[in-house]
Chain A
Amino acid sequence: MSERAETDAARGIPLAGASKSADGRRQCWAQMRMALAADRAHWHRRGHGSARLYRGYHAVWLYRLSRYSHERGWRMAAWLLWLVNGWWTGSDIPPSSRIAGGLFLPYPFGAVIAGAVGRDAAFGVQASIGGLLKEPDQDIGGGPGLPLLGDGVVLEAGAIVLGAVRIGDRARLGPRTTILKDVEPGETVMPQPWRALPGRGAAA
C-alpha cells in the first residue's frame, strides 16, 4: 500500500476506484481492517477488556462491513447490514457516513452517527450527530447538510451536533449540549447551567 493510500485509509477517506481493480479492492478491505484494529486499540486504551464482547464494538464492526459494501457498490448488502446493525445494537450509522478508525462507542443504543468523523472519536451515551430538518444547503465534507468532526473529538453523554458544522480536533462537547455552530480545535463546550424555579423549595 502506498503512503498516500495509507494516510487516506487512516482518515477513512474512500480510495478512488476502490471497486474497479483487484488492487483497489484489496486496499479497500485492508483499510477496513486497519480501521477496525484502530477501534479495538481505542477500546483497549480506555481500559476495557476484549472489545469484541461489547455491543458497541458490534455496532462499529457492522458499520464497517456496511461501509465496505457501500464502497464496493453492493447497495443491498450495505442496506441489510445497516438494518442488522439497527436491530442488534439499536444504533443508526448509515453506510454513507464516513468514520475514520478508532471510534469508541460504548453505548450504541440510540446512537445516530450521520456525517464524517475523524480518528479516535469517542461518543458517549446517546451522543449523536446528524442533519437538521431542512433542505441541505451546503456540503463541507461530511455529506449534504451533515457535520464534519475532527480527530480526537469527545462527545459526552447526550451531546448532539446538527447541521453542516465543523468540529475542530480534540474538541470536547459536554453532556447534553446541542451544537449548531462551528467549534474551534481543543475547545470545550458545556451545557447551560440550571437555575432554581423561583418561589419553590428551600433554595428559592
Chain B
Amino acid sequence: MTGAVVNTDPHGPTGYAEVRRLLSADFARVLRQTTGGKPTSRLRRLMHLTLPAMQVAIFHRVAHLLHGHGWRRCAAAVSNLSLRLTGASLHPGSPIGPGLFVPHPARIVFCGSAGIDLVLLPGTLVGPRDWVFPGAPFPADAPRLGDNAVVGAHAAVQGAVTVGAGATIGIGVCSLRDVPAGTVTMVAQRQIRSRSDVPEGGDAV
C-alpha cells in the first residue's frame, strides 16, 4: 500500500488544507468518472458538486476532520445526517485516501481504512464483525483496504481483513479472510432454474 501514507496517520487530517486536498482529489475523481476526462463547462463542473458521490465525500471528510479533533459526537451527528440524506453510513473515524468514489450510496455501511481511489458500490458492508456506533472510537479490528480497491454491490468485508491493492470484491461476496493484491473475487452462483410452466401452487422461485 504505497498510497497509504494518509492511512497511517492515526489522528486523521489535521487541518482544513488536508481536507481541501482530499476533497479536490475526490472531485477530480468524480469528474474523471462522469465526463471521461473530456473538457466540460464551468457550470457543468459545478453541477457535479451536487452528485451523491460528492455529497458522501464532503460529509465524510468533514466528519473525519471532527473525529480527528476529538469531537466524536459532532462527527457522529454529521455521519448520521449523511446517512439520512444520501443513504451511506461511513464511520467518521475511517481513514479513506484521496479519490473516494461512491456512485450510488444507498445502503452502504463502511467502517475501515482504505487507500487511494476507493470505489464503493451500493449495498456494501465493510466493517468489523461486531457493530460499532459512529460515535465510538475507530476499532482496531476494522478491515484495511489497499489502493484502487473496488467493493462490489452487496458485498461484505467483515473482520480484521486486509484487502490488497487493486483487488476487486465481486458482487455479493462475503470476505472473512485476506484478499491478495490484484485479485478479482467471486462466489459460485448456484442457481436452480426450472421452467415456469409449473402448476398453480408450485414455488415460483
Contacts and interface: CB of A to CB of B under 8 A. Distances in A.
Interface of A: 48, 54, 106-107, 109-110, 124-126, 132-135, 137, 156-158, 174-177, 190-197, 200-204
B133 interface: yes
B156 A201 contact: no
B127 A157 contact: yes
Given A125-B109, A191-B174, A201-B167, A109 B89 contact: yes
B89 A176 contact: no
Given A110-B107, A156-B129, A204-B183, A175 B201 contact: no
A124 B183 contact: no
B185 A202 contact: no
SS class of chain B's interface: helix, strand, loop or mixed?
loop
A107 B183 contact: no
SS class of chain A's interface: helix, strand, loop or mixed?
loop
Given A126-B107, A157-B156, A203-B182, A194 B170 contact: yes
Q: How large is the interface on B (under 10, 10 to 19, 20 to 34, 35 or more residues)?
A: 35 or more
A194 B107 CA distance: 22
B205 A195 contact: no
Contacts of B154: 176
Contacts of A135: 201
A197 B170 contact: yes
B84 to A, nearest CB: 8
A196 B107 contact: no
A162 to B, nearest CB: 10
A1 to B, nearest CB: 34
Given A125-B125, A194-B170, A197-B170, A106 B131 contact: yes
Interface of B: 83, 89, 107, 109, 125, 127, 129, 131, 133, 154, 156, 158, 164, 166-167, 169-170, 172-177, 179-188, 201, 203-205
B131 A124 contact: yes
A131 to B, nearest CB: 12
A175 B156 contact: yes
A125 B131 contact: yes
A196 B184 contact: yes
B19 to A, nearest CB: 26
Contacts of B89: 107, 109
A157 B132 CA distance: 12
Contact of A158 (B125, B169, B183, B184): B125
B181 A194 contact: no
Contacts of A201: 166-167, 180-184
